[in-house]
């Protein structure tokens, strides 16, 4: 199957547009449309995607801004798959990398966490004083990071949130990062296991901060000329992009040229000195900063980097998706099919094999529209609106069993017994086969001979065991009899006071005793 990278975007209506938005999949190379999922108007940070993988079809979650409703779509049909009624309207939503848990934040600072397969609400707590703007899971799904209008960034351990023993207690964050002074607008988690990973946070206070979670410390502060709206971080964590609503995108390299003239390595890391380490990014003052500046001249709403880390995707408030080459900052193409709408979500992924209208699953030539039925969709159950201890205790989860292989697949992987015996002979008994030309039939006869030989050896072993048992019993009986007879003779003594000794070895000892008695 040919691997093809696609763009997934979500749109929302603006004041100039009428009707709801949509979730659309585009070809990243040509901009052509693959599929469209309508009747959704999710805002920024309110769309979460789980790709198709491991034999299970993916899905899309879209929290609606004006209603306490979550729309669920899957890639196998272009219609709404499920509509989930929520406890209240969500301001942001996220899903962990495995597609097991969903977290949602509200305008009142409350956070909910559900298990997607069962719909069980694991926890609901007041995490912030004001609206939760962004939620992110770490890449290993071990922690949840939340950013709020109250300027705080809190890190929550998932294991503590799922713990049965702490359901009646207010959760305590793993750490709280409080160096921002204005609302937090975006959060990105670096690659790595929690808590050894790093995170980037953006704020209206014109700053982007790099944090180390293992030590709960601030590594570096990057100060920009305008408030930062969204971020995009390279997978190698060597650079990131920070975009403002005025249309400026700054590329910030986390490395620089060494100043030492005779340094062995020409590059060194940037920052890391802590709270006092402030790097100012001036878009007009420094020549190097101007070289790393991309001007879009439109309000920017979202950013994304391609899977190959070679393309930067920019979504605007006017409905344009612009694709830039990261190395040269050259504009390669513009997708303009969403004019009149605002781009609220951008991400890249491999084209799903079960995508409606583009199914490509068979190993052989050709594919049928019914082929997508061989990939079951990962189960999504309506979420609970309040915590239910009984349902949590039962904890019924739908598990997707692997699909049975089709006839064509069985024929493709057919492996007869004769072929197995022949291959065993080639790889295990290669030396014997080379000399005698053994076939599968002769191997079978050889196995029969070995089995008969084993039975004979077992028979002989039984006889030897019987002889050994007989010998053992005879020796034990003889020793017991001799011991009894010795004790009986030891009780009797001679009239003259001398002890009678029966054994020949004790004659010398008896003579010595008599001599001593005579002397006395």
| pLDDT of amino acid 277 | 81
> In this predicted structure, which of 56-70, 236-250, 271-285 has the lowest mean pLDDT?
271-285
The token pair at 348 is 């890249």
- Does 92 have pLDDT greater than 50? yes
The token pair at 133 is 């703007």
Report pLDDT digits (tens) over 214-234. Answer: 999 999 999 999 999 999 999
- Name the burial class of residue 419, with classes exposed (0-12), middle (13-18) and buried (19+) by CB atoms within 10 angstroms of its CB: exposed
> Crossing angle, helix 440-490 and helix 417-428, to 10 degrees?
70
Q: How far apart are CA 497 and CA 184, in angstroms?
A: 112
| pLDDT of amino acid 45 | 95
| pLDDT of amino acid 406 | 53
| pLDDT of amino acid 257 | 72
- Name the burial class of residue 294, with classes exposed (0-12), middle (13-18) and buried (19+) by CB atoms within 10 angstroms of its CB: buried
User: What is the rounded average pLDDT of the residues 123-150?
Assistant: 95
| pLDDT of amino acid 124 | 93
Radius of gyration of the chain measured on its C-alpha atoms = 39
pLDDT band at residue 288 using 50, 70 and 90 as cut-offs: low
Strands 217-223 and 278-280: parallel
Q: How far apart are CA 520 and CA 511, in angstroms?
A: 14
> In this predicted structure, which of 89-103, 196-210, 258-272, 506-520 has the lowest mean pLDDT?
506-520
| pLDDT of amino acid 278 | 87
- Does 334 have pLDDT greater than 90? yes
- Name the burial class of residue 455, with classes exposed (0-12), middle (13-18) and buried (19+) by CB atoms within 10 angstroms of its CB: exposed
SS3 162: helix
Candidates 172, 220, 222; CA nearest to 198 is 220
pLDDT band at residue 125 using 50, 70 and 90 as cut-offs: very high
User: What is the rounded average pLDDT of the residues 412-433?
Assistant: 66
User: What is the rounded average pLDDT of the residues 440-469?
Assistant: 85
- Does 105 have pLDDT greater than 80? yes
- Does 99 have pLDDT greater than 50? yes
Average pLDDT taken over every residue of the chain = 82
| pLDDT of amino acid 512 | 47
Peptide bond preceding 55 in cis form (omega within 30 of 0): no
Task: Say what percent of the chain tops pLDDT 70.
Answer: 79
C-beta separation of 303 from 344 below 8 A: no
| pLDDT of amino acid 363 | 34
- Does 272 have pLDDT greater than 60? yes
Q: How far apart are CA 98 and CA 516, in angstroms?
A: 98
SS3 96: coil
C-beta separation of 448 from 442 below 8 A: no
SS3 514: helix
What is the biggest distance separating any 2 CA atoms in the chain, rounded to whole angstroms?
139
User: What is the rounded average pLDDT of the residues 373-387?
Assistant: 86
pLDDT band at residue 432 using 50, 70 and 90 as cut-offs: low
pLDDT band at residue 261 using 50, 70 and 90 as cut-offs: low
Q: Is the pTM of this model over 0.75?
A: no
| pLDDT of amino acid 108 | 95
Q: CA angle, 406 as apex, 402 and 412 as ends, to 5°?
A: 110
Report the DSSP beta bridge partners of residue 21.
Answer: 40
């Amino acid at each position: 199957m040919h691997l093809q990278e696609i763009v997934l975007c979500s749109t929302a209506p603006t004041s100039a547009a009428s009707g709801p938005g949509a979730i659309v999949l585009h070809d990243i190379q040509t901009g052509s449309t693959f599929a469209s999922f309508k009747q959704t108007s999710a805002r920024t940070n309110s769309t979460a995607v789980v790709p198709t993988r491991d034999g299970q079809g993916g899905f899309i979650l879209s929290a609606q801004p004006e209603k306490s409703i979550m729309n669920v779509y899957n890639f196998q049909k272009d219609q709404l798959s499920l509509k989930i009624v929520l406890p209240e309207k969500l301001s942001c939503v996220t899903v962990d990398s495995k597609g097991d848990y969903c977290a949602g934040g509200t305008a009142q600072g409350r956070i909910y966490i559900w298990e997607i397969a069962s719909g069980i609400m694991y926890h609901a707590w007041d995490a912030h004083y004001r609206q939760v703007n962004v939620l992110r899971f770490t890449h290993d799904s071990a922690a949840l990071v939340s950013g709020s209008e109250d300027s705080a960034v809190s890190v929550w351990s998932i294991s503590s949130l799922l713990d049965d023993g702490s359901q009646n207690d207010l959760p305590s964050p793993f750490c709280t990062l409080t160096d921002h002074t204005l609302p937090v607008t975006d959060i990105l988690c670096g690659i790595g296991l929690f808590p050894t990973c790093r995170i980037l946070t953006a704020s209206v206070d014109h700053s982007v901060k790099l944090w180390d979670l293992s030590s709960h410390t601030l590594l570096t502060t990057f100060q920009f000329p305008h408030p930062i709206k969204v971020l995009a971080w390279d997978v190698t964590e060597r650079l990131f992009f920070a975009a403002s609503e005025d249309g400026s995108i700054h590329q910030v390299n986390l490395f620089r040229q060494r100043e030492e003239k005779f340094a062995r390595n020409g590059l060194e890391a940037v920052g890391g000195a802590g709270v006092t380490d402030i790097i100012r990014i001036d878009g007009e003052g420094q020549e190097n900063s101007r070289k790393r500046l991309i001007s879009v001249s439109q309000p920017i709403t979202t950013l994304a980097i391609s899977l190959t880390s070679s393309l930067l995707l920019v979504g605007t408030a006017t409905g344009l998706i612009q694709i830039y080459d990261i190395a040269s900052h050259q504009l390669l193409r513009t997708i303009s099919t969403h004019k009149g709408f605002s781009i609220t979500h951008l991400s890249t992924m491999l084209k799903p094999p079960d995508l409606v209208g583009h199914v490509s699953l068979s190993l052989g030539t050709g594919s049928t529209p019914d082929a997508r039925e061989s990939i079951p969709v990962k189960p999504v159950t309506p979420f609970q609106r309040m915590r239910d201890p009984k349902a949590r205790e039962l904890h019924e989860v739908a598990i997707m069993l692997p699909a049975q292989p089709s006839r064509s697949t069985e024929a493709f992987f057919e492996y007869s017994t004769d072929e197995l015996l022949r291959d065993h002979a080639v790889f295990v008994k290669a030396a014997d086969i080379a000399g005698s030309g053994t076939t599968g039939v002769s191997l079978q006869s050889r196995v029969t001979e070995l089995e008969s030989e084993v039975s004979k050896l077992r028979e002989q072993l039984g006889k030897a065991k019987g002889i050994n048992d007989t010998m053992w019993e005879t020796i034990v009986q003889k020793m017991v009899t001799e011991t009894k007879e010795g004790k009986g003779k030891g009780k009797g003594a001679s009239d003259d006071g001398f002890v009678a000794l029966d054994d020949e070895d004790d004659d010398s000892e008896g003579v010595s005793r008599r001599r001593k008695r005579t002397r006395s």
